Chains A and B, each alone.
Chain A
């Protein structure tokens, strides 16, 4: 285990005119850690995720990322090309709607292979073999490799999106409601899969979700957001079992028991 975080976020804020997206968010993330960001819609969690993944530029604040050579780089000072390179190689982004993260009109195999080609792999046989391997890791049968994701169910599309993101061996993965909109049985399968992959690969991940059960299952640490601000943070089980902020108590007490 290294003693330096992978990501150091300090006083990050994003304003849309006078409206607050996220306000003064600071945290550190270490390799192998999964951080859940929870809160209801409009709480700023997706704005935060988009700022962190540089899909959106913050109004103020800094985010340092430790590159593979050990040097910290300030994300918002990088050139567009450098950020795109990070996105393609060192990071993954799993969208709630798989159609936003997949190319719907090229085959499943190509969806996975494309990311490999982006990092410079040119050997067709090797790319295809890796694609097959990753499809099986996300439990998609090999005989579907030439099908387009359009022909896949929602759960399969989401698993394909995960394979596409993880194939390049990223060190940090952003996930925006990765199980949103899926049936519970499909959700359980996906969660179990994600949990296994994150552990096996030692990934760091930031997962935005409004589902506290998903957060409990996937994350070790949690940040609760309301109106753009972090109202509580800590170990996931501490926040859920002993919520301190009024808003967290409301969230936790609103969970339906089955």
Chain B
């Protein structure tokens, strides 16, 4: 089974220059890999650094130490030191991400928000919209909302737009940051189905799921993030 992503000895801290340069270590010695066709789950209490790990893997947070090796474009690239341009290419081709909250853009319809990642990968706009419609229907988003910008949608509706946007592409690696947090039971089941389909398509998934039932249904492996807690420092 290929391992498209290997994390070794990654550390992250925040230096708060506005607070006299105090250093807040978040996580250290993070090492793991994820496998194609599996869903790996990051476990641990809030504040343990789960989201920070996902954000580093997406290039959204800088990495202090260590390597994040990604299989991209038939080669291996260290995402921790990659140039912004390379990170953008990796996001376009290799790593997809479903964030916790949808960042809305004024005046862009829900349908186009979902279709956009496919269009960016060079797909024809109408074909991309067709796939977007199918996904939004599967996620039970009322059709009358599709043409509206999602800014005024409820939390659960925005979440579903966000999920559709993340699942529409065929990225070989998919990061999921609490995709089911504000969903009802019916839509949680849809997300479980979508994840199962990704696994069947040999996608490597890495996610955070606080919902016990969802986690039990999708997880092949759980990584306990508390093992990566940085050494305690004097307060």
B105 touches A195 (CB 8 A): yes
Query: Given A235-B59, A238-B59: A192 and B105 within 8 A (CB)?
Result: yes
Instruction: Specify the main secondary structure of chain B where it touches its partner.
Output: mixed
Q: Which of A191, A220, A237 contacts B106 (CB 8 A)?
A: A191
Complex-state Cα separation, A188 to B106, whole angstroms: 6
Q: Which of B61, B85, B87, B106 contacts A241 (CB 8 A)?
A: B61
Instruction: Specify the main secondary structure of chain A where it touches its partner.
Output: helix
Q: Given the complex, which residues of B lie within 8 Å of A191, measured CB to CB?
A: 106
In the assembled complex, B138 has its CB within 8 A of some CB on chain A: no
Shortest CB-to-CB span from B23 to chain A, Å, is 12
In the assembled complex, B15 has its CB within 8 A of some CB on chain A: yes
Most chain B C-beta atoms within 10 Å of own C-beta, residue among A188, A191, A237, A253: A237
Q: Which of A241, A244, A245, A246 contacts B60 (CB 8 A)?
A: A241
Most chain A C-beta atoms within 10 Å of own C-beta, residue among B14, B15, B106, B108: B106
In the assembled complex, A95 has its CB within 8 A of some CB on chain B: no
Shortest CB-to-CB span from A1 to chain B, Å, is 8
Complex-state Cα separation, A195 to B84, whole angstroms: 20
Complex-state Cα separation, A191 to B105, whole angstroms: 9
Query: Given A221-B84, A235-B88, A238-B61: A249 and B107 within 8 A (CB)?
Result: no
Q: Which of A33, A217, A241, A242 contacts B105 (CB 8 A)?
A: A217
Query: Given A189-B106, A195-B105: A242 and B62 within 8 A (CB)?
Result: yes
B107 touches A242 (CB 8 A): no
B59-110 CB contacts (< 8 Å) to partner A: 59-62, 84-85, 87-88, 105-108
Count A-side interface residues using an 8 Å CB cutoff.
Answer: 22
A250 touches B60 (CB 8 A): no
Smallest Cβ-Cβ distance to B52: which chain A residue: A242
Scoring A residues 215 to 258 as 1 if CB is less than 8 Å from chain B, else 0, what string do you get?
00100110000000000001101100110111001100100000
A244 touches B107 (CB 8 A): no
Q: Which of A189, A221, A253 contacts B107 (CB 8 A)?
A: A189
Complex-state Cα separation, A235 to B15, whole angstroms: 19
Query: Given A220-B84, A238-B60: A249 and B106 within 8 A (CB)?
Result: no
Smallest Cβ-Cβ distance to B149: which chain A residue: A192
In the assembled complex, A152 has its CB within 8 A of some CB on chain B: no
In the assembled complex, A76 has its CB within 8 A of some CB on chain B: no
Shortest CB-to-CB span from A11 to chain B, Å, is 19
Q: Given the complex, which residues of B lie within 8 Å of A244, measured CB to CB?
A: 15, 62
Q: List 20 A-B contacts (CB under 8 A).
A: A192-B106, A192-B108, A195-B105, A217-B105, A220-B88, A234-B84, A237-B60, A238-B60, A238-B61, A238-B62, A238-B87, A241-B55, A241-B60, A242-B62, A244-B62, A245-B17, A246-B17, A249-B16, A249-B17, A249-B18
The 6 closest A-B pairs by CB, nearest first: A246-B17, A188-B106, A192-B107, A242-B61, A235-B84, A249-B17
A192-B106, A237-B60, A238-B59 known, 19 other contacts, Cβ within 8 Å: A188-B106, A188-B107, A192-B108, A195-B105, A217-B105, A220-B84, A220-B88, A221-B84, A221-B85, A235-B60, A241-B55, A241-B60, A241-B61, A242-B14, A242-B55, A242-B62, A244-B62, A249-B16, A250-B17
A interface residues with partner B (beta carbon < 8 Å): 30, 33, 188-189, 191-192, 195, 217, 220-221, 234-235, 237-238, 241-242, 244-246, 249-250, 253
